[in-house]
Amino acid sequence: MNTSSPSNHVFVLMGVSGSGKSAVANAVAYQLKAAFLDGDFLHPRVNIEKMSAGHPLNDDDRRPWLQAINDAAFAMQRTNAVSLIVCSALKKSYRDILRKGNPNLSFVYLKGDFDTIESRLRARKGHFFKPQMLVTQFATLEQPGDDESDVRVVDIHQPLDAVVSTTLETIDTAISQIGRAP
């Protein structure tokens, strides 16, 4: 039995650390009165400790985290009209884990260049992510391709308010297109 409907949709805000995922998701969730989950809160303790020590995560580290986010997305799409989840989702295989069994899930890719994101990371205070890990994030990033029609791109090389506005428009457009799908 499929209990999902176009009106119950989960949007994963993806991108490298420093792309503004949490700030944008917080603002968008507030404006849409949507459910919001920062996927970083689902990292196992061992992952947080590893990142805090300056070590990048590998695929084995990420697998249980991605499955926890997949489970959360499943629950959220069953109970909320619109939900937002923040998750880097850097590789297609990670995005595929998130998609599995979640027919009403799509992605908003907050896309930016290395220099813009590095300057934002250096300005951060109190976050466990180390700016030097950005090199690893960009090396890991697999740009969504044409075969991922559920990924919408928002350019972050603009002020935060404009990124939020563009993200809201992107989500509104996605919902209206989903509503028209056969």
Q: What's the start-to-end Cα distance of the chain, in Å? A: 18
Q: Is residue 142 domain-resident? A: yes
Provide the residue type at 145 as one letter: G
Q: Is residue 3 part of a domain?
A: no
Q: What is the pLDDT of residues 77-128, one digit of tens each?
A: 988 999 999 999 999 999 999 999 999 999 999 999 999 998 888 777 665 5
pLDDT for 34-78, tens place per residue? Answer: 999 999 999 999 999 998 887 878 899 999 999 999 999 999 998
**1 has pLDDT over 50:** no
- Domain extent at residue 15: 9-180
What are the start-end ranges of the E strands in the chain? 9-14, 35-38, 82-86, 105-111, 151-155
130: in domain: yes
Count of domains forming the chain: 1
Global pTM value? 0.89
Residue 26's CB is within 10 A of a number of other CB atoms, namely 15
Residue 172 lies in a domain: yes
Residue 64 lies in a domain: yes
In a domain, 4, yes or no: no
CATH number of the domain where residue 156 is located: 3.40.50.300
Is the distance from CB of 21 to CB of 15 less than 8 angstroms? yes
Smallest CA-to-CA distance from 98 within 129, 124, 77, 125 is with 77
Q: Angle 92-99/59-79 helices, nearest 10 degrees? A: 40
User: Is 29 inside any structural domain?
Assistant: yes
- Taking only the tens place, the pLDDT of each residue in 123-177 is 776 655 566 678 888 999 999 999 999 999 999 999 999 999 999 999 999 998 8
Rounded-to-integer distance, Cα 166 and Cα 156, Å? 9
pLDDT of residue 163: 97
Residue 93 included in any domain: yes
